[in-house]
Chain A
Amino acid sequence: MSDFPDFKLSATGRKVALSLVPVICPPEYVQFADAIVTNFELTISVSPLLLRKGVSAGFATYDLGALPRYRKRAHKLTGEDAERYFSSWEHGITPLHVQFARALNQLLSLGCYDVPEVMEAIGYRPAPWIEEVTRKRLTVYAADVRKQEVQILAPDPLRPGFRIEDVRRDRKVGA
């Protein structure tokens, strides 16, 4: 059973997130935009409620905020326009704009470098490494591992003379 709360970006929110992938992620990984945004959603799904609400509201504001200047909503911006618009938030009309842009940068970067193909491309391959060292531990150090497992359960009372039965019996007598 998994522990994933149900959380999905709205259709517009997802479009905005997808339009930001080319702005925030390295160009060679834009092909993984769907997976990056899915990772983003999964991260948001377990974030504090305030952050979840902030992201939803922020996306709506970000999307509509492009209209006066570009006569298009943000999710329809591409290339230099998309870049310029995001940059205007990054350098901030208000501290809230700056914080939101930073948060998007962080969360989409996180989502990008969690894509297996991206990790592979930069030479990060932890699964075989874990397998290799686990095997080593259970062979080379098997005796010590077993010894510790036994130690964990071995009797070793904190107060050796203490007998709880005596306390319970005394309580019954007292009662």
Chain B
Amino acid sequence: MAVARPALIEGVRPAGVFTRHDIHGDTVLDCDVVVVGSGAGGAPVAAELAEAGFDVLVVEEGSYYQTRDFTADTSAMVRQLYRDGGATMALGNPPILFQEGRAVGGSTVINGGMSWRTPDDILERWCKDGLDVSSKSLEPYFERVEKRMNVAPMDDDAIGRDNWLLKKGADAKGWEIIGNLRNQTHCVGSNRCAFGCPTGAKQSSLVSYIPRALHYGARVYANVKVESITLHGKRATGVVGHVSLPNGGRGPSVTVRAKLVVAACGAIHTPALLVRSGLSSRSGQLGGNLSLHPNVKCVAIFDENVTGWKGAHQAFQVREFADEGIGTFAAINLPPSVIAMSLPHRGAQLGALMDQYNHMVLAGMLVEDSTTGRVRTIKGRPQAFYQLTKRDTQVMQRGLSLLSELLFAAGAKRILLPFHNAQELANADEARRLLDQPIPPSSWEVVTVHMMGTARMGVDRTQAVTDQFGMMHDVDRLLVADASLFPTPIRVNPMETIMALATRAAGHVIDNARRYLS
């Protein structure tokens, strides 16, 4: 008899990590810098400032888990590590499902570990708006981040058959395909990146920046949900929140008094935190400018046994069509439950398809979006709204057609498409004809994990929420350090850009320590 498996167990914690078990009543804490969020933005700021001698306190809503806690139990991992069990939606037609991490380490615990610098043309675009973010000026920060989390190409023996098939297809088409750079130390291809790396190979913030921050004296408070930033006039003075109980209830209150507040909750929750705190931006851009790299996937079925779950996640990326707004093609194995969920089939049909799970290659593409959405704060909670444009659905349709051609060139026998009521494709001609087919927006199944831009940086306070280091315009001592800062989408995985900007912001704080510590 099958039974539901137990949840993750929180094990022994290192010194400096506190959880709900350590807070027994209303609590007031003091520090130099309070960092809200422990992911790609918060963790580097915390580590850099802690090493410089600042008294740093990190507050994280999610729980603290360690490598040993990450198991093969996919649904337990999703429930524990993903906000809202990974079922958050940006409303629009179609609604877009998006995922965010909610644990110490943030989304770096559940991302694929793709580590790419911001493309030069994107930085040039940002520079034209007056930002000093040329690739040359960011170079030392990229280098530092890459060193800290060991960004490296994959070992060949860790690459699974699904990724080699993607390469075979790209080579057959003569398309540019590149080995992925990832933050990993000898990834051995457990293919569990999205559910917490169980081997410790992925150098997420959880195993790189957070241990470093702790080593240099930072404190990490997990299970603390921040409600708002406290203000004295226009000056941020700390945060207030409460312990988050296992049943979602509210535990003792937690007040942190600080000289500098860092909001690093991601592009959905940072604007909500600022709005809940009574802050606004004269630019009207707080919560606006949301871009999210719409992402679609298809399932290709091969005659050969692929066993895509043995081998590294996204070992290659096809970048051939970047100038058309098609960011990347990649092979992304997912567990059977997640694939079954994405298929419109049911009953015996579903069973017949899923019996071929080990013959499947799941491939995806992301689009550099041409429009923006908005995060609104409703009763204190963020809600994303995003309407795909006709242009972007056309780009997705073209991308899907090209990706299908690639998969057929690799030997695929059938391809299942990511829209409802869609017919399967049986050959490359059908893939090409896909372009002629009108596909209503409501039929698309679109997902994303790249939310960006909702507190954009810029030199002009009438156009941007923060300055170029992430300091909020018109508010003293409030730093934003996450993908909210991006003025535009960046076409590649955003983690390294977030980290580089966060590191640069930490440098700015150190350079101006007298001001921020006064």
Contact = CB atoms under 8 A, between A and B. Distances in A.
Q: Do A and B bind each other?
A: yes
Interface of A: 1-6, 23-29, 32, 34-35, 38-39, 42-43, 45-48, 51, 95, 102, 105-107, 109-119, 122-124, 126-127, 129-130, 133-134, 136-137, 140-141, 144-145, 148, 151-153, 155-159, 162-165, 167-168, 170-171
Given A3-B63, A114-B74, A124-B357, A133 B189 contact: yes
Given A152-B212, A158-B510, A35 B1 contact: yes
Given A5-B247, A109-B350, 8 more contacts: A2-B80, A26-B350, A35-B1, A35-B2, A39-B75, A109-B343, A119-B335, A124-B335
A158 B72 contact: no
A137 B357 contact: no
A148 B341 contact: no
Nearest to B149: A152
Contact of B3 (A26, A35, A102): A35
Interface in B86-127: 87-89
Nearest to B85: A46
Interface stretch (B198-206, B463-471, B488-496): B198-206
B79 A42 contact: yes
A13 B426 CA distance: 40
Given A3-B80, A47-B84, A130 B247 contact: no
Given A5-B247, A130-B72, A158 B144 contact: yes
Given A27-B348, A113-B337, A164 B358 contact: no
A158 B188 contact: no
Interface string B337-357: 111111110111011101101
B67 to A, nearest CB: 9
Contact of B201 (A3, A111, A137, A162): A137
Given A3-B63, A129-B310, A165-B53, A134 B518 contact: no
Interface of B: 1-4, 6-10, 20-21, 48, 51-54, 63, 71-72, 74-75, 78-80, 82, 84-85, 87-89, 144, 147-148, 150, 185-186, 188-192, 198-201, 203, 207-208, 211-212, 215, 246-248, 307, 309-310, 335-344, 346-348, 350-352, 354-355, 357-358, 420, 442, 503, 506-507, 510-511, 513-514, 517-518
B7 A3 contact: yes
B513 A123 contact: no
A144 B185 CA distance: 7
Contacts of B511: 159
A143 B476 CA distance: 47
Contacts of A136: 188
SS class, residues of chain A in contact with chain B? helix
B419 to A, nearest CB: 12
Nearest to B19: A1
Given A27-B347, A117-B2, A124-B309, A171 B52 contact: no
Contacts of A23: 346-347
B190 A133 contact: yes
24 contacts: A1-B9, A2-B6, A2-B8, A3-B80, A23-B346, A35-B2, A107-B341, A110-B337, A111-B337, A113-B339, A113-B340, A116-B2, A122-B358, A123-B358, A124-B335, A130-B72, A140-B186, A141-B188, A145-B185, A152-B211, A159-B507, A159-B511, A162-B53, A167-B513
Nearest to A43: B85
A127 B354 CA distance: 19
Nearest to B189: A133
A29 B350 CA distance: 11
B420 A168 contact: no
